[in-house]
């Protein structure tokens, strides 16, 4: 598989044949871990591919840092995983291939999540992308 190529084996299909990403909120730690792995395997390829086209790359990195923090409970990070998986998946409400507007829905999801987390997310902007959380 080439770098940046979408992994179709990670896409599940519903009864009508429509692709469905792993976007359901995790209800237990095992589901969370599975979705976290999906995000970790695919996020950086997506950011490298579209990072210059979008204005919210720093927010994506902060959310990733939050997700990696071992001090945050898995069920708090579950909503982060769903939002990042939504960002990664190219076939969402507004497909990413649509010029100019393809990332508006992604921006909406990320913005809503940032509003939800509020100041809790601020320390995660000051860490490197692969850090485990805020510096102490």
Q: Using CB atoms within 10 Å of the CB of residue 56, give its burial: 0 to 12 exposed, 13 to 18 middle, 19+ buried.
A: middle
Q: Are the C-beta atoms of residues 22 and 12 closer than 8 Å to each other?
A: yes
Domain locations along the chain:
8-126
Nearest 10 degrees: CA dihedral of 8, 76, 55, 94?
Answer: 50
Q: Taking 80 as the threshold, does the pLDDT of residue 13 lie above it?
A: no
- Beta carbons within 8 Å of 71's beta carbon, 6+ residues apart: 133
pLDDT in tens, 53-69: 788 999 999 999 999 99
pLDDT at 76: 87
Q: Dihedral of CA 73/76/79/83: which sign?
A: negative
Q: What is the pTM of this model?
A: 0.69
Average pLDDT for residues 96-120, to the nearest whole number? Answer: 83
pLDDT at 95: 64
Neighbour count for residue 131 (Cβ, 10 Å): 15
């Amino acid at each position: 598989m080439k770098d940046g190529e979408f992994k179709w084996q990670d896409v599940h299909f519903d009864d009508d044949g429509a692709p469905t990403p792993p976007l359901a909120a995790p209800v237990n730690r095992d589901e969370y871990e599975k979705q976290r792995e999906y995000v970790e395997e695919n996020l950086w390829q997506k950011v490298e591919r579209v990072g210059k086209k979008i204005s919210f790359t720093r927010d994506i990195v902060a959310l990733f840092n939050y997700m990696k923090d071992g001090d945050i409970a898995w069920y708090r990070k579950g909503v982060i995983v769903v939002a990042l998986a939504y960002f990664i998946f190219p076939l969402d409400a507004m497909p990413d291939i649509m010029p100019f507007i393809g990332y508006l829905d992604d921006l909406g999801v990320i913005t809503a999540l940032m509003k939800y987390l509020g100041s809790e997310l601020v320390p995660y902007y000051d860490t490197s992308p692969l850090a485990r959380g805020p510096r102490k």
